Chains A and B, each alone.
Chain A
Amino acid sequence: MFESLTEMFQYEFMQRALLAGVIVGGICPLIGVFLVVRRLSLLAESLAHVSLAGVATSLFVQKEWGWLMQVHPFYMGMAFSVFGSVFVEKMRKMYASFQELSLPILLSIGMGVSVVLISAAGGFNADVAGYLFGSLIAVKEEHVKTIAMVGVLVLLLVALFYKQLFALSFDEEHAILTGIPYRFINLLFIILVALVISSAIQIVGSLLVSSLITLPVAASLQIANSFRQTVIYAIIFAELAVLIGFFAAYSLNLASGGAIVLVSVAIWLLVVIWKKIGLQWTGKVARSE
């Protein structure tokens, strides 16, 4: 086992992918905690599909008008995702009483554009599969740099605005009343979500990205007491999932995204079971006393 571990690290592409994976494994649950407690888990899914639409657009443009412009799918996906996030904020104001309506609308647009353009660009090939399910080999050095920049930006801004994000998540009405600049913070946050998702697509793929955002948080919520704990546990669970998933994907030749997600599911299940047993145990102790 250790042999394959050391072997794994000899490859430059694996080192790159692992670095990107560790960064993504940190920022996905960090953003995810705020999304889940604000009941916006579906936002991740929607923006992932919009990001995929960006990828598809890039592939299509490359095929049809490749002489005109060359934008790598990764960056096009990021641009689409950010654009989609601003759209969600605008839509939230338009449908004030059905705020979540913007999410399925966005999801449909994203998926529709993706399917049409992917088939127009030559159908589902290995490249496309990489963007759907994540691909370790496809992580280029420049992408790692971009992902690292996104990582630093997200860490910095969440640390800076942690107070405001917490207050808005807990009780938006009261937060607004106490003078928290909610429009600015909400817009900033949703753009961060878009950047995180388009970065994570490289590792887990657009179909699975929302699971890396929500599953570690779901597990963390089971056992955390404070908000701070929720954030810390979620990051630990996500990093574990990324590391174990990577190793499994490499040594068993599995799709990396799927492996990471399955490990996340396993962690979540273990936490749920552990909590159940713990509760029964404390119940027994209480009864016997």
Chain B
Amino acid sequence: MSTHVIKCEGVSFAYEKERVLEDIHLTVEEGEFLGIIGPNGSGKSTLIKLILHLIKPQTGKIEVFGKRIQNQKDRSLIGYVSQKANSFQRGFPATVKEVVASGLYGKLGLMRWMKKEDWKKVEEAIEWVGLSAFADRNIGNLSGGQQQRAFIARALVSEPKLLILDEPTVGIDVKSSKQFYDFLVELHQQTELTLVLVTHDMHAAMTIVDRIACLNKRLLYHGPTDHLMMKEKDILTQLFGNSLFSIQENQFCPS
């Protein structure tokens, strides 16, 4: 049996008195593409912080690659792309290459310089995300979707086994988002990476992930996407309200 990439057992968390997550049981298998959806304030980002061990659960335990994260070394198998990556300071003077290279700095340690093979890794990561032509461009001159791809390259350059994306398309236009999701599918198909995508964009999540977790303080559903659509529609209604389906149906009405 393969070890679970992520295993949450009875995890609860509260900020002061406000309960954010209650009794979460969740496992993610190797090579899986999991979507975590839920409305704003449902505890999605908190769950990610718990998995990354930036905060500690009040009860329950979390294991990543079969062990509890204790220190930085345990975290080095995880790549992370945040929604905030999209709102880095515009006009920051850095090229795509410089930004992607910074993904290696934590691993390199304090006293080591970038070697030739390190720069090669950087170039490979940039090529992988299809930005080779932009490697020496200022990151601020790229489109939102391209910037997010550069941040994926920054995460990939340290060769993680698990990539967590926290609302990566927030603030990116619809067309670029679509391209970005296509890119994630390609990434999933061509690598052995385990992917976790946190989003409130339900439609996007449904079409690209293998399994889905519906979160609203509690884990309401965890399983294949098609099963959710067929059998458990009321969970989605509970999460996003009735309007969700009326909008969806209206899309096909001739105007």
Q: Which residues of A contact B (CB under 8 A)?
A: 37, 39, 160-161, 163-164, 166-167, 169-171, 173-175, 177-181, 220-221, 224-230
Contact = CB atoms under 8 A, between A and B. Distances in A.
Interface stretch (B9-17, B88-96, B121-129, B179-187): B88-96
Contact of B106 (A37, A167, A226, A227): A167
B103 interface: yes
A169 B52 CA distance: 22
B93 A227 contact: yes
Given A177-B52, A177-B80, A170 B99 contact: yes
Contacts of B84: 171, 173
Given A177-B54, A181-B110, A167 B95 contact: no
Given A163-B108, A177-B54, A221-B91, A228 B98 contact: yes
B105 interface: yes
Name which of B52, B84, B105, B136 has the most chain A CB atoms within 10 A of its CB: B105
B45 interface: no
Interface in B66-94: 72, 75-76, 80, 82, 84-85, 88-89, 91-94
Given A160-B111, A225-B136, A170 B102 contact: yes
B138 interface: yes
Contacts, number: 81
A227 B98 contact: yes
Contacts of A175: 102, 105-106
A170 B94 contact: yes
Given A221-B91, A226-B94, A226-B95, A178 B106 contact: yes
Given A163-B102, A166-B102, A179-B76, A174 B93 contact: no
B95 A37 contact: no
A242 B158 CA distance: 42
A199 to B, nearest CB: 25
Contact of B110 (A164, A178, A226): A164
A224 B76 CA distance: 33
B253 interface: no
A229 B110 contact: no
A166 B102 CA distance: 8
Contacts of B82: 173-174
B107 interface: yes
A161 to B, nearest CB: 7
B223 to A, nearest CB: 30
Given A177-B75, A179-B75, A226 B98 contact: yes
A171 B88 contact: yes
A229 B98 CA distance: 11
Nearest to A224: B93
Given A167-B105, A179-B107, A37 B89 contact: yes
A29 B111 CA distance: 23
A153 B11 CA distance: 48
Chain B interface extent, by class: 20 to 34
Interface SS, A side: helix
Contacts of B89: 37, 39
10 contacts: A160-B111, A171-B102, A177-B52, A178-B107, A178-B158, A179-B107, A221-B93, A225-B137, A226-B98, A228-B98
Given A37-B89, A160-B111, A178-B107, A226 B102 contact: no
A230 B131 CA distance: 23
B247 interface: no
Contacts of B108: 163
A225 B138 contact: yes
Contacts of A230: 93
A163 B158 contact: no
Given A37-B92, A166-B98, A226-B98, 18 more contacts: A37-B89, A160-B111, A163-B108, A170-B94, A171-B85, A174-B82, A174-B85, A177-B106, A178-B107, A179-B75, A179-B107, A180-B106, A221-B93, A226-B93, A226-B94, A226-B95, A226-B136, A229-B93
A221 B138 CA distance: 12
Contacts of B230: none
B141 to A, nearest CB: 9
B114 interface: yes
Nearest to B96: A226
A37 B99 CA distance: 14
Name which of A37, A221, A227 has the most chain B CB atoms within 10 A of its CB: A227
Name which of B88, B102, B110, B114 has the most chain A CB atoms within 10 A of its CB: B102
A171 B155 CA distance: 13
Contacts of B54: 177
A189 to B, nearest CB: 13
Contacts of A229: 93
Q: Which 9 A-B pairs have the closest CB atoms?
A: A178-B106, A179-B72, A179-B106, A230-B93, A163-B105, A167-B102, A226-B95, A227-B94, A167-B105
A171 B94 CA distance: 12
A164 B75 CA distance: 18
Nearest to B111: A160
